[in-house]
């Protein structure tokens, strides 16, 4: 159950269970739906209180089953959601409803919150942004918040909760003195702060694209724009429901969150509103860039068509003159004149030069 990077063979499509795999199964069946991102599940337990902290890592399911918790408050974290027997054991130890375990194993959940009486079940998504590939990847994070425990379930180790672990280890702030509701707040706050990092990276990339579009729009920029548009849509689908989740926590009847902790939850709610406003601003910027790209392409086409039209108009008199003198008449002016050819050529060049001068003054040739 060590934290290791899975080989590519683990992450390929063949290792991704399909929803069709649950067809015909009863509700609450523990079937993992999603990509297997670690070779083995890993469990860590932190028991803490004002007087100290105990941290335990389990390298086997048997070790987890034999563990006896003694701390007044605890935080259990699971990395890797593809082993139903691990979920079943956690559910047994904390008396979790089978539907909760089923939702945890289904890694395609939208952010939501459900009240099961003795605990709250909360689903959120953690985002990473790869600036090299311009792609945002998300992973499901599930929370179970009880009176004296917090359970978190992640698809793989991301390091996103490491700051909170350090606060607990070093007894920073009031995290050990306050209840597990403050621990839940700290974890949610860390998750929400990550959205700001992703949005800043997307916003910076959008501004760079805007400058590139103004100078020289091309098809590769259009592809990047569509990719950014898809990423912001994915973020929108995660952030908007998350705001409702935090709002529901604020309206909670204080069974799980004290009045003091709810003040901190208001701060998270303000952050989610700020995230939504920033995201909508980026979406508007991307939409404006798409219009700018189409306008630039249309303007460039118009300029090219105008240039071709100017060239055609310049040479049209020459075509007219040569066409007239090419008619098969026996009697025509200048046919027998020794200077007729030069006169015709001079007429063509003169008209072309006159038109060119007119177009140049109107800046149609630039």
Segments in 41-179 forming alpha helices (H) = 61-66, 84-94, 98-105, 162-170
pLDDT tens digits, one per residue of 242-281: 999 999 888 876 688 888 899 999 999 999 999 999 999 9
Q: What is the residue extent of each domain of the chain? A: 8-295, 302-361
| Run of H or E residues at 171 | none
- The reported pLDDT for the residue numbered 114 is 92
Mode of pairing for the β-strands spanning 73-79 and 112-115? unpaired
Per DSSP, helices labelled H in the chain are 8-11, 61-66, 84-94, 98-105, 162-170, 180-215, 219-250, 259-325, 340-361
Residue with tokens 């609450």: 28
CA-nearest of 262, 258, 124, 138 to 198 is 138
Supply the pLDDT for residue 79: 87
| Spatial CA neighbour of 144 closest among 133, 153, 156, 154 | 153
Q: In a 10 Å sphere around its CB, with 0-12 CB exposed, 13-18 middle and 19+ buried, how is residue 326 labelled?
A: exposed
DSSP output for 212-267? HHHH---HHHHHHHHHHHHHHHHHHHHHHHHHHHHHHHHTS-SSSS-HHHHHHHHH
Helix (H, G, I), strand (E, B) or coil at 32: coil
The Cα 120–Cα 187 span in angstroms is 15
What distance in Å separates the CA atoms of residue 298 and residue 160, rounded to the nearest whole number?
A: 46
DSSP character at residue 155: S
Q: Which of 174, 97, 179 is nearest to 142 (CA)?
A: 97
* Below-50 pLDDT ranges, the chain: 1-17
| H or E stretch covering 115 | strand 112-115
List the CATH code of the domain at 8-295: 3.30.460.20
Cα angle at 174 between 169 and 177, to 5 degrees? Answer: 85
Class of domain 302-361: mainly alpha
Q: How far apart are CA 121 and CA 100, in angstroms?
A: 7
Return d(Cα 192, Cα 270) in angstroms, integer.
11
Q: What is the model's pTM?
A: 0.74
């Amino acid at each position: 159950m060590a934290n290791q990077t899975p080989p590519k063979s683990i992450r390929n499509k063949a290792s991704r269970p399909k929803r069709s795999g649950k067809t015909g199964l009863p509700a609450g069946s523990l079937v993992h739906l999603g990509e297997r991102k670690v070779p083995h599940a890993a469990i860590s337990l932190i028991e803490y209180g004002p007087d100290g902290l105990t941290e335990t890592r389990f390298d086997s399911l048997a070790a987890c089953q034999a563990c006896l918790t003694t701390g007044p408050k605890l935080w259990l974290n699971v990395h890797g959601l593809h082993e139903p027997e691990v979920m079943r054991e956690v559910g047994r130890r904390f008396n979790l409803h089978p539907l909760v375990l089923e939702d945890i194993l289904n890694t395609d959940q939208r952010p939501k919150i459900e009240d099961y009486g003795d605990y709250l079940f909360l689903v959120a998504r953690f985002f990473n942004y790869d600036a090299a590939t311009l792609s945002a990847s998300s992973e499901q994070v599930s929370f179970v918040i009880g009176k004296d425990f917090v359970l978190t379930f992640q698809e793989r180790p991301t390091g996103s909760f490491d700051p909170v672990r350090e606060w607990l280890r070093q007894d920073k702030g009031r995290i050990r003195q306050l209840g597990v509701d403050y621990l839940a707040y700290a974890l949610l706050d860390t998750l929400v702060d990550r959205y700001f990092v992703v949005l800043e990276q997307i916003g910076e990339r959008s501004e760079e694209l805007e400058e590139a579009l103004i100078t020289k729009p091309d098809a590769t920029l259009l592809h990047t724009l569509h990719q950014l548009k898809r990423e912001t849509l994915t973020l929108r689908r995660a952030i908007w429901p998350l705001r409702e989740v935090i709002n529901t926590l604020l309206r909670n009847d204080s069974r799980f969150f004290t009045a003091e902790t709810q003040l901190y939850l208001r701060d998270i709610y303000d952050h989610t509103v700020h995230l939504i406003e920033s995201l909508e601003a980026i979406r508007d910027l991307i939409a404006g860039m798409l219009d700018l790209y189409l306008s630039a392409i249309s303007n460039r086409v118009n300029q090219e068509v105008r240039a071709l039209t100017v060239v055609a108009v310049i040479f049209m008199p020459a075509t007219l003159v040569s066409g007239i003198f090419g008619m098969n008449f026996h009697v025509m002016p200048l046919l027998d004149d020794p200077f007729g050819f030069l006169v015709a050529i001079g007429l063509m060049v003169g008209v072309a030069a006159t038109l060119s001068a007119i177009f140049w003054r109107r800046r149609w040739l630039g």
